[in-house]
Structure 1
Amino acid sequence: MSDADVVKSTIENLEFFSKLDESEKERILKNSIIKTYSKNQILYDHNSECLGMVVPLSGTIRVTMASENGKEINLYTLEQGDVDVLSASCVINQISFDTVMIAEDNCDVIIIPAIVVSEVQKKNIYLHSYILEIAANRFSDVMWTMQQILFMRIDQRIAIFLLDEYVKSHKNVMIKVTQEEIAKNINSAREVVTRILKRMSADDVIEIRRGKVIIKDIDYIKNLAIAD
């Protein structure tokens, strides 16, 4: 398929698209582009122009917030089938904080330019409502992250991460992830994660290999993830 065909087939399946008139549909399809990003490349930060609506086609995008001293908090991740608008602060005036979008691995992304999204949503209440709904969903993701950081033990946060990866990999117990990547995803220090993983390994819950964590007791991980 050509890029234009991929853009058309993907955007046509977004919830708001059928509610647009023909000129609005044409404008969005004509101006949307596919961009390819390499691993660790920044898609968007506070120095970037307003990006627009982001629709991942492949790969994983990590959305973070960074302090002036360089400390970083992982807010949520985006994968194929997700949509994000928090990089479009010029579209949603109420967004008053800066996020950073980083490619976790090589990824292809459809971008509907901010100027197009902004102008169409001013005239079309369905697109406007869709943008607010997506923003609300992302803020819910952010609040879940804050809840984990503030109220959950590190071992529980690790269990939640491993369980999520287990589900996403269609119940494959071999999780391909480094300890550094786990630490980034749960917003903790690598040294702390290493200590907890070693304890889990000693308890025969997991097995640690280079670049991998093998879940040996999935029931323990599940129970730990949902513990009060």
Structure 2
Amino acid sequence: MLNNDDFNLLNTLFPAWQQLTTKQQQIISQNASLIQVKKNNFVHTTKEGCSGILIIKKGQLRVYTLSEQGKDITFYRLNDGDISILSASCVIKDITFDIYIEALTDCELIQILPCAFAKVMNENIYLEAITYKLATKRLCTVTWAMQQMMFTSFDKRLAEFLLNESNTTNSNEINMTHEQIAKLMGSAREVVTRMLKYFSTEGYVEITRGKVKIINKQALEKL
């Protein structure tokens, strides 16, 4: 069940809410529920079916896929206030590749059942347009992530990852283990450790247990 705060969040973050009729708003509200997911648990896998639309009330999710060799490739992360649109692959039928979503932290999510979302989307051109706009935006991020994996050198990728994390948290300290960084980058821990040691030798970063501190941002930006 949603409480008043959850309904207010739904009204604020749901795509094209103001363009829905009162009846359509009721359909969405009646088919929305608050779910809690513990850290490291799956939120969605394509093989298990369609999860519907997910609005992140609190926490962080990782959206990724798996290669034929079982290697996971991170596409992007979702944070408070973000909307997971690719989890509704049954609604957006052009999404044909496997998507996995896991909780990187304990999460609270507002889940909208796919059947209700599909019904309203088919009736409302505004919701349909913004849904495909959001999906296109996410698919562009997926394409960019694949291009990075295939065509960008690892030192540059790692530098960009560290700089992005620093900008996101507004801190020069990245509180992650080498294993966590490797997982998010779709690489091996040994590769990350080797490159971080090189960065440390060059004076770009300082490495301590479970933490990487950026010392020279300008040098990382030039890679």
TM over 0.5: yes
Superposition pairs for residues 8-87 of structure 1, below 5 Å?
8-14=7-13, 15-87=15-87
Unaligned runs of 5+ in 2: none
Partners of 2:159 and 2:220 within 8 A in 1: yes
Specify the code of the residue in structure 2 equivalent to 1:121.
M
SS in 2 for 1:56: strand
Partners of 1:7 and 1:29 within 8 A in 2: no
Percent identity over paired residues: 36
Instruction: Measure, in 2, the Cα distance between the counterparts of 1:147 and 1:70.
Output: 19
TM-score, normalisation: structure 1 = 0.93
| Residue 68 of structure 1: how far off its partner (Å) | 4.5
Match of 2:114 in 1: 114
Specify the code of the residue in structure 2 equivalent to 1:206.
V
Superposition pairs for residues 114-153 of structure 1, below 5 Å?
114-153=114-153
Partners of 1:7 and 1:32 within 8 A in 2: no
Listed one character per residue, the Cα deviations across residues 77-113 of structure 1 (whole Å, up to 9, x for unaligned) are 1111211221112101111112011001111111111
SS in 2 for 1:142: helix
Match of 1:194 in 2: 193
Instruction: Measure, in 2, the Cα distance between the counterparts of 1:88 and 1:151.
Output: 30
Listed one character per residue, the Cα deviations across residues 135-158 of structure 1 (whole Å, up to 9, x for unaligned) are 101101101101211111111111
SS in 2 for 1:91: coil
Instruction: Measure, in 1, the Cα distance between the counterparts of 2:161 and 2:106.
Output: 21
Instruction: Measure, in 1, the Cα distance between the counterparts of 2:8 and 2:155.
Output: 42
Listed one character per residue, the Cα deviations across residues 20-71 of structure 1 (whole Å, up to 9, x for unaligned) are 0001111111221111111110011133231111111121111111135422
Partners of 1:36 and 1:106 within 8 A in 2: yes
TM-score, normalisation: structure 2 = 0.95
Partners of 1:50 and 1:114 within 8 A in 2: yes
Listed one character per residue, the Cα deviations across residues 175-203 of structure 1 (whole Å, up to 9, x for unaligned) are 10111111112221111111100000111
Partners of 2:60 and 2:104 within 8 A in 1: yes
Instruction: Measure, in 2, the Cα distance between the counterparts of 1:158 and 1:67.
Output: 21
Specify the code of the residue in structure 1 equivalent to 2:137.
N
Query: How many pairs were matched up?
Result: 222
Match of 1:89 in 2: 89
Instruction: Measure, in 2, the Cα distance between the counterparts of 1:212 and 1:20.
Output: 46
1:160 is aligned to 2:191: no
Q: How large is the Cα RMSD of the aligned pairs?
A: 1.4
Instruction: Measure, in 2, the Cα distance between the counterparts of 1:133 and 1:97.
Output: 18
Partners of 1:84 and 1:135 within 8 A in 2: no
Partners of 2:47 and 2:98 within 8 A in 1: no
SS in 2 for 1:25: helix
Instruction: Measure, in 2, the Cα distance between the counterparts of 1:217 and 1:27.
Output: 53
Unaligned runs of 5+ in 1: none
Specify the code of the residue in structure 1 equivalent to 2:39.
K
